[in-house]
């Protein structure tokens, strides 16, 4: 029989809590359109391992800015003056849930969501 340490058990509990919290808080911010079903961005693959791609479905404006936050709220990536397709390498990202925000030139959140990095 395999013996588990208390550290291993606590680590699994933390991962489960992060997953549950990510499921409950699937997005943050408000939508410019007022309709959360209207999506500006498509992203893939999810879960991601080495890179993640974001593409505008409609409404692209080069003055938009794009931000990625670690699940605990620390901003880890920002791109001002976005392009219609974004390819972000995940070499510096750890395993976990990340949140993204798309902001207009006034700093208002247009869309937000989450993605998962697995390595």
Structural domains in the chain, CATH included, are 27-117 (2.60.40.10)
Looking at residues 48-62, what average pLDDT do you find?
91
Question: According to the model, what pLDDT value does residue 79 have?
Answer: 93
Predicted TM-score (pTM) of the model is 0.68
Instruction: List, for residues 85-119, the tens digit of each pLDDT value.
Output: 999 999 999 999 999 999 999 999 999 999 999 98
d(CA 71, CA 101): 13
In 3D space, the residue among 61, 52, 50, 45 whose CA is nearest the CA of residue 111 turns out to be: 61
Q: Is the per-residue pLDDT at 38 higher than 90?
A: no
Q: Residues 6 or more apart from 55 whose CB is under 8 A from it? A: 41, 42, 43, 84, 85, 86
Q: Is the per-residue pLDDT at 60 higher than 50?
A: yes
């Amino acid at each position: 029989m395999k013996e588990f340490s208390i550290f291993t058990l606590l680590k699994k509990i933390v991962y489960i809590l992060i997953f549950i919290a990510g499921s409950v808080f699937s997005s943050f911010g408000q939508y410019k359109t007022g309709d959360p079903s209207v999506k500006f961005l498509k992203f893939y693959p999810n879960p991601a391992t080495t890179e993640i791609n974001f593409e505008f479905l409609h409404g692209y404006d080069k003055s938009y800015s794009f931000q990625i936050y670690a699940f605990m709220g620390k901003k880890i990536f920002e791109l001002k003056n976005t392009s219609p397709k974004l390819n972000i390498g995940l070499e510096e990202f750890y395993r976990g849930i990340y949140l993204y925000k798309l902001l207009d030139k006034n700093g208002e959140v247009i869309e937000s969501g989450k993605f998962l990095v697995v390595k």
